[in-house]
Structure 1
Amino acid sequence: MRIVKLLAKLLVKIIIFLAILIAIILVAFNWPVQSKNENMEFGVSFSDVQARALDMDWKSTYIEILTDLKPKKMRIAAYWSDIEKEPGVYDFSNLDFQVEQAEKYGTKLVLAMGVKVPRWPECFIPEMYAEGENDKPLSKKVLREDAVLKFEKALVERYKDREIIEMWQVENEPFLSFGHCIEGALDKQIVEREIAQVHKLDSTRKIMTTDSGELSLWRDAASRADIFGTTMYRIIYKGAKWYDGYVHYPIGPNFFRIKAKLIGKWINSEDIVISELQGEPWGPGWIKTMPIEEQYKSMSPQKLVDIAEFARRTKFKETYVWGVEWWYMLKYQRENSDMIEAAKQVITKREEK
């Protein structure tokens, strides 16, 4: 009986200790931040895949973004499954268009490549390199890795002389288990080979890798490239058996500052960017059909302005806002330009100061 009482007291002490520790951590993460980067540059991420999924004319939308929002920087993606329909045959026409228009309007580009690039389902592997029922996983993996390296070589050689491309991005959140992807399609070894090849092909540009801001420790991605990009979300929807509803991340800008210091051994804080700042809803359904009232629960014009202010307080140097396709979908399919006006307040007007 005495042992039981001692164990009970010990358990209570452990619980109290953990509660105090968690409280201290939360206070540190949410400690008010007064200083901010008033000169933070805001660009956008654009996906022709996402624009088509929203039933939009992606080319006219892309041009309107360049002429209406006038972003100085934009992140675009090379979708491997769209570009290589036949082994070794590459159709870069969509990318050619995006690069040419960016040159015309003077918008610097980050070009993402790899197995995983921005937008759902995250992995874009050509069907002939996916694993079939009768395939040997190891042989298919070797074939796939060889193919992605050849694809990226062709990509870099095609665009490395285009000055409008400011930086390469190799893979998107490669070490985060998120999205629909073939098991084992990405590991540290292939990511390192990809980065090494791009560096060899083009030593004049820096390479960015990315990771989740809230769900990752950053080390694996940050230690392998020149620039590290983090995601930054404030409100998401969690549909699970144990909880079904919206989650407000209980963290402040200090959370990201602390993480930046923790990875200082591998990368300087001035080489950290926000590669994906929440600028569209994360709700219980597909944004094309979701009621605007539901969409605004996780992203609205005011929420965009607020999260931009949150981003400035991390003091990172630049940000790429996520969701530009949705803003223009609202304009043309819902007759609602409020998100575009809010984005101009964040992007265009600030840059014109």
Structure 2
Amino acid sequence: MFKKHPFAIISIAILLAAGVFWTVLYLLDFSLPEEKITYGVTFSKAHAEALGLNWKEALTASLDDLGIRHFRLAAYWNDIEPTDDHFNFENLDWQVNEITKRGGTIIMSIGERLPRWPQCHTPPWAAALDVGERQQKLLQMLPAVVAQYENNRAVIRWQVENEPLLPMLEDCTPPDENFLAKELALVERMDQTRPLMTTANGELGNWEEAGQYVDVLGVSLYRTVWEPDANYSDYPFPPAFYKFRAETARDVVPRIVLSELQAEPWFPGQGFDVTRAEKYHSGSPALFQKILRYARKTGFDEIYLSGVEWWYWLKTERNETALWDMARPLFAIPATVSR
């Protein structure tokens, strides 16, 4: 029978080989010893407020209850420059000062595209400008932020923009690689003592394209996402996918970190008061532990979780402490951030 169907034999052999190869990839484990991994979080005042939280209480609990010492903060343009050429750093100063008092470290994200929905945090007055004028205003805003915090030793890196070359963000100016280079060059001229960082989408982004301009590249890692056309879907990549991409990208950027690890649900739309089933579809305690195990297998030694505001919301508003308590041991391990 097989003599009559040689292509069937070849097809079966290819499928079997592919299956074995994929299984081997999933079994590869590049985990580092736990004491060699630094864990931190992205903290967003805007996201805490969207959840209806007192953002100061949320940050304080993150510091004093969970013991978090490594943070990625966002200098949201619409918060620090609500009107043209009038800066207000009061809210960001408070965050920086609280972290500094406790001996923490800060990656300061600056620019127009920054962590958390809606990705581009443009003040209304700047959104009304054409692209060229808005870019000029950005180049005036960046030095103001650098000048505000360059003398604070807690700030260890400048992250310029967040996934700036990802073209899928409807509310943002289209990616402009030349302008990104200008932003980075400007920040570097102002402060040559700190590494420059930007980020790329871990699954869909071009790591080399973004990494060629910086000292540190941050990448995201999401497992379960929601899209209007596809509902919930899981990325099929094994941990080795991120390890191999990182090894390849190191030809152009010396250090790569996991800057955004999914540690919260991904909901349809922006509603948060959803059913327990909806919350747990992409963010149950079991999935939380699963994604942590997965992230360790990628071999990254610096990991920032996204979701601390959500854990706090569950704890204080729903009396669900599982995620908060599961996260605590991560931050009990003494670790330092490599600059």
Say whether the fold is shared (TM-score over 0.5).
yes
Q: After alignment, is 46-55 or 25-34 more displaced?
A: 25-34
SS in 1 for 2:281: coil
1:153 to 129, 143, 159: 143
1:30 to 23, 26, 33: 26
Indicate the residue corresponding to 1:302 in structure 2: 286
Question: 1:29 offset after TM fit, Å?
Answer: 4.3
SS in 2 for 1:69: coil
2:55 to 35, 53, 58: 58
> Is the Cα contact below 8 Å between 2:43 and 2:73 reproduced in 1?
yes
1:80/1:21 CA distance change after superposition, 3 Å: farther
Q: Does 1:248 align with 2:234?
A: yes
Q: Does 1:282 align with 2:270?
A: no
> Is the Cα contact below 8 Å between 1:81 and 1:124 reproduced in 2?
yes
Indicate the residue corresponding to 2:125 in structure 1: 128
SS in 2 for 1:296: helix
Q: Distance in 2 between matches of 1:101 and 1:14?
A: 64
Structure 1 segment 331-342 matched on structure 2, within 5 A = 331-342=315-326
Structure 1 segment 88-99 matched on structure 2, within 5 A = 88-99=85-96
Structure 1 segment 1-353 matched on structure 2, within 5 A = 26-27=22-23, 29-33=25-29, 35-38=31-34, 39-131=36-128, 140-184=130-174, 186-240=175-229, 244-268=230-254, 271-286=255-270, 288-348=272-332
Question: 1:104 offset after TM fit, Å?
Answer: 1.2
1:118/1:338 CA distance change after superposition, 3 Å: same
Indicate the residue corresponding to 1:135 in structure 2: none
> Is the Cα contact below 8 Å between 1:229 and 1:275 reproduced in 2?
yes
Q: Distance in 2 between matches of 1:258 and 1:18?
A: 23
Q: TM-score, normalised by structure 2?
A: 0.89
Indicate the residue corresponding to 1:136 in structure 2: none
Runs of 4+ in structure 1 displaced over 6 angstroms?
A: 11-22
Q: After alignment, is 55-64 or 45-54 more displaced?
A: 55-64
Gaps of 5+ in 2: none
Q: Deviations over 1:77-126 (max 9, x none)?
A: 01101221221111111110011101111111111011100011100112
Amino acid at match of 1:328: Y
Q: Distance in 1 between matches of 2:169 and 2:14?
A: 33
SS in 2 for 1:305: helix
| Equivalent pairs, count | 330
Question: 1:191 offset after TM fit, Å?
Answer: 0.6
> Is the Cα contact below 8 Å between 1:210 and 1:221 reproduced in 2?
yes
1:14/1:219 CA distance change after superposition, 3 Å: farther
Amino acid at match of 2:92: L
> Is the Cα contact below 8 Å between 1:28 and 1:254 reproduced in 2?
no
SS in 1 for 2:193: coil
Q: Distance in 1 between matches of 2:239 and 2:332?
A: 23
Q: Distance in 1 between matches of 2:37 and 2:140?
A: 36
1:15/1:208 CA distance change after superposition, 3 Å: farther
Q: Distance in 2 between matches of 1:265 and 1:304?
A: 32
Question: 1:23 offset after TM fit, Å?
Answer: 5.3
Q: Distance in 2 between matches of 1:16 and 1:175?
A: 40
SS in 2 for 1:76: strand
Q: Distance in 1 between matches of 2:270 and 2:220?
A: 20
> Is the Cα contact below 8 Å between 1:302 and 1:342 reproduced in 2?
no
Question: 1:302 offset after TM fit, Å?
Answer: 2.7
Q: Distance in 1 between matches of 2:142 and 2:276?
A: 39
Q: TM-score, normalised by structure 1?
A: 0.86
Question: 1:37 offset after TM fit, Å?
Answer: 4.3
Question: 1:225 offset after TM fit, Å?
Answer: 0.5
Q: Deviations over 1:113-160 (max 9, x none)?
A: 11100011100112222247xxxxxxx222111111111101001100
Question: 1:34 offset after TM fit, Å?
Answer: 5.6
> Is the Cα contact below 8 Å between 2:69 and 2:102 reproduced in 1?
no
Amino acid at match of 2:242: F
> Is the Cα contact below 8 Å between 2:113 and 2:172 reproduced in 1?
no
> Is the Cα contact below 8 Å between 2:261 and 2:305 reproduced in 1?
yes
Q: Distance in 2 between matches of 1:206 and 1:289?
A: 39
1:27/1:87 CA distance change after superposition, 3 Å: same
Amino acid at match of 2:26: N
Amino acid at match of 1:237: W
